[in-house]
Amino acid sequence: MASGGPSEPEKAKSYENYLQLEKVLGGVRRLSEVNNDPAHDEHLFIVIHQAFELWFKQMLFDLESIIEIFDSKPGRDQKHMLTITQRLERIVLIWKLLIDQFFIIETIPPLNFLEFRHHLGSASGFQSLQFRLLENKFGIRDEDRKKYANKIYIDMLDAESSKDKLRESAKDKTLLSVVQLWLEDMDDIDSDFWQRYTKAVVHSGNQASFEGVVDKDKYESDREHGIRRLSHKAFKGALRISLLRDKPGYCLPYKVLSLITDVDGLIMKWRYNHVLMVHRMIGSKAGTGGSSGYQYLQSTVSDKYRIFIDFFNMSTFLIPRRDLESVEE
What digits encode the pLDDT tens for the residues 8-50?
A: 899 999 999 999 999 999 999 999 999 999 999 999 999 999 9
Query: What's the pLDDT tens digit per position in 143-156?
Result: 888 776 677 778 87
Per-residue DSSP letter, 279: H
Structurally, how many domains does the chain consist of? 1
Cα angle for residues 275, 55, 133 (degrees, 5° grid): 75
Residue 117 lies in a domain: yes
Q: Using the predicted structure, report yes or no on whether residue 134 has a pLDDT greater than 90.
A: yes
The span from the CA of 220 to the CA of 228, in Å, is: 8
Amino acid occupying residue 80: H
Number of other CB atoms surrounding residue 111 within 10 Å: 8
Q: What is the CATH number of the domain that holds 64?
A: 1.20.58.480
Residue 136 lies in a domain: yes
The span from the CA of 185 to the CA of 63, in Å, is: 21
CA 89 to chain centre: 13
The span from the CA of 67 to the CA of 254, in Å, is: 17
Residue 21 lies in a domain: no
Where do the H-state alpha helices sit in 206-250? Answer: 211-214, 216-224, 232-243
| Mean pLDDT within 294-303 | 84
Per-residue DSSP letter, 284: T
Q: Using the predicted structure, report yes or no on whether residue 1 has a pLDDT greater than 70.
A: no
Residue 88 lies in a domain: yes
Contact in structure between 191 and 197 (CB atoms under 8 Å): no
User: Structural domain of residue 176, as residue ranges?
Assistant: 36-327
Give buried/exposed letters for 154-168 (b at 16+ CB in 10 A, else e): bebbeeeebbebbee
Query: Residue 66: its pLDDT value, please?
Result: 96
In sequence order, what are the beta bridge partners of 148?
Answer: 151
Residue 18 lies in a domain: no
Residue 209 lies in a domain: yes
Query: Residue 268: its pLDDT value, please?
Result: 95
Residue 8 lies in a domain: no
Closest alpha carbon to 218 in 317, 128, 131:
317
Tell me the three state secondary structure of residue 148. Answer: strand
| Mean pLDDT within 70-82 | 77
Phi, psi for 27 (deg, rounded to 5): -80, -5
Query: What's the pLDDT tens digit per position in 225-249?
Result: 888 999 999 999 999 999 999 988 8
Residue 177 lies in a domain: yes
